[in-house]
A and B are shown apart, each in its own frame.
Chain A
């Protein structure tokens, strides 16, 4: 859940139509037509990516006159199904996966159950990946993949490239080769598994 208080505003006289903003917006709220960037006000989630990467400093973040709140209420969805999906992605439903906005795995699972199919659609309804926009991409992709939805990268944008290794996919030879160097692979996997399988009452399931 996120309170959206900011809006990106393009200074048309400074914009040179380079399209960098378009490539870094996690929710596709800004795009370039006729060599000028335009923001879809309702779609902007105020993450500041466009403002931070525009090479010509053409974008300013302004306070919205009418801030609004976005979010998906996970309690409205079947908790068993939410847990199933989260566990498949090796996440506990209650765990936070976006540190800026505070979105938990269960909220993303609920968004998927409500019909969101892509990272940008999920960001748009939950607010995940509209804070720092960098740290939560993997759990987000993991949850979409766990739901059986095919991930299709936008070749024209830099929004995201692909899923990466997890504790559960590390090759055994790598684990053996490096665990003497202070990398606690196996122990950490066990810790993550304990987190995943802890239920609302605090009981741990093997």
Chain B
């Protein structure tokens, strides 16, 4: 095999971003992809059947995303929206961390313009939901000029904002009042799989109704009341409610693969779109996730402007990599190595309550935290995976985060990126490195790891196509015929 042909110069990763949740970008002195021995692998070379992307691309990439969004938006029925009505476009924070955030912002801009043009409606607002960083979407709204684009009607909403009870077929759940304070809602999301350890790629397209658009009671229902494989029903229950159905106009999605933005997908039928998203999530992302499961040992590097579990490599977030020792898509295994259900089921002595609980991916011999944000409870990661944080400033920042008071109790600090890497090489005895820096179109890894991934990719691809994908889709009851329906 000619390995060198498939190894390229490292891809320039996403730049550090100013945010109240991270250290000042000027304090990020070095990126691990710039260190000696790093290369990049292009995903379409590893898996040649991945579809072509609009982004990353040439200088027209964003324009092409816009065009795809407009074309998809022209196909949905908007006749329910009258000029005198009000419309809330609902967005979620994760969309803004995909591929630099610009493509999602462009989708949101296209929705506003096309809805106004097609319906004559002028009262179009943006309601952008967050996870646990309550000001996060406020930052994105400003960064991408969405406040001016939406004529000052763009706000971030948080799960502790004023609520509204929603009667569902399983009982009362609670939404955020400002999400529903319009005649119509448009659900703007993406097919990035993200927390497959939580939603297990079941009803993923519906999930924001139980998360970004929901009050804390509902989020807590999801994460504490139903169990790891039933939890996502919380979102479906809300979406199915008479209240939400009476307001739902359509969904507009950015179609993403692990290698970039493929296109846009809009539909009045969210479940049809959901089936297509499930297929994308299982087929396209399933291959890279399964390939990551082949890594026998490595140093994992966090190097992306996002909280610890959400930094990503080849479209896969770190939280999923910590579960790559199991098949996260396989619904037969009840507990993944990491979800909050898993985390909750550890005893005082650090051992799991149930013996069969899988450990966090033992292939990760050390985690070098070069750059990642606060704003997500991450103590479980540093407690279970030896962690070196670069720079005192990051350590201090974590100590001032109410969700991470204990993160640094289990991590050590290194003065520089170079020293952190040297320490990791010395202690782990491996030179296989995987960098979660959000590089677009490929992934930055060390040469030794690149070699292993190149070797394993063909077999993984075949296994997913022939064995795993049919099983995963069957477990989810996906209606295959719907996939062929005109998008």
Residues of A that sit less than 8 Å from B by CB: 2-3, 5-6, 23-24, 46-49, 52-53, 61, 63, 92, 94-97, 99-102, 104, 130-139, 158, 160-167, 169-171, 174, 178, 180-185, 187-189, 191-192, 194-195, 198, 202
Contact = CB atoms under 8 A, between A and B. Distances in A.
A185 B233 contact: yes
B48 interface: no
B225 A178 contact: no
7 nearest CB pairs, A to B: A188-B227, A134-B216, A52-B134, A184-B229, A138-B220, A182-B202, A182-B476
Interface of B: 132, 134-135, 158-163, 165, 169-174, 200, 202-203, 215-221, 223-233, 236-237, 331, 334-335, 340, 343-348, 353-355, 377, 379-380, 399-400, 402-406, 475-477
Contact of A131 (B231, B343, B403): B403
B230 A96 contact: no
Contacts of A158: 160-163
Nearest to B472: A182
Please indicate which of the listed interface residues B202, B220, B403 has the most CB atoms of chain A within 10 Å of its own CB. Answer: B220
A160 B377 contact: no
Contacts of A3: 405
Given A132-B403, A161-B163, A100 B377 contact: yes
B158 A53 contact: yes
Contact of A135 (B224, B227, B237): B224
A133 B202 contact: no
A188 B228 contact: yes
A5 B229 contact: no
A195 B356 CA distance: 12
Contacts of A166: 221, 225-226
B160 A53 contact: yes
Contact of B477 (A97, A181, A189): A181
Given A2-B405, A130-B402, A131-B403, A94 B353 contact: yes
Contacts of A61: 400
Nearest to A90: B225
A163 B476 CA distance: 29
A134 B477 contact: no
Contact of A164 (B132, B225, B406): B225
B335 A191 contact: yes
15 contacts: A99-B377, A132-B377, A136-B224, A138-B220, A158-B163, A165-B170, A170-B170, A171-B169, A181-B477, A182-B477, A185-B226, A188-B227, A191-B227, A191-B335, A198-B354
Contacts of B174: 161-162, 164
A184 B227 contact: yes
B348 A94 contact: yes
B161 A195 contact: no
A101 B340 contact: no
Contacts of B134: 49, 52-53
A69 to B, nearest CB: 11
A162 B353 contact: no
A162 B224 CA distance: 15
A183 B225 contact: no
Contact of A97 (B165, B216, B236, B344): B344
B173 A164 contact: yes
Contacts of B399: 5
B202 A138 contact: no
A183 B229 contact: yes
Nearest to A24: B160
Given A48-B402, A99-B340, A184-B331, 7 more contacts: A132-B402, A135-B224, A135-B340, A188-B228, A189-B227, A191-B227, A198-B353
A200 B130 CA distance: 38
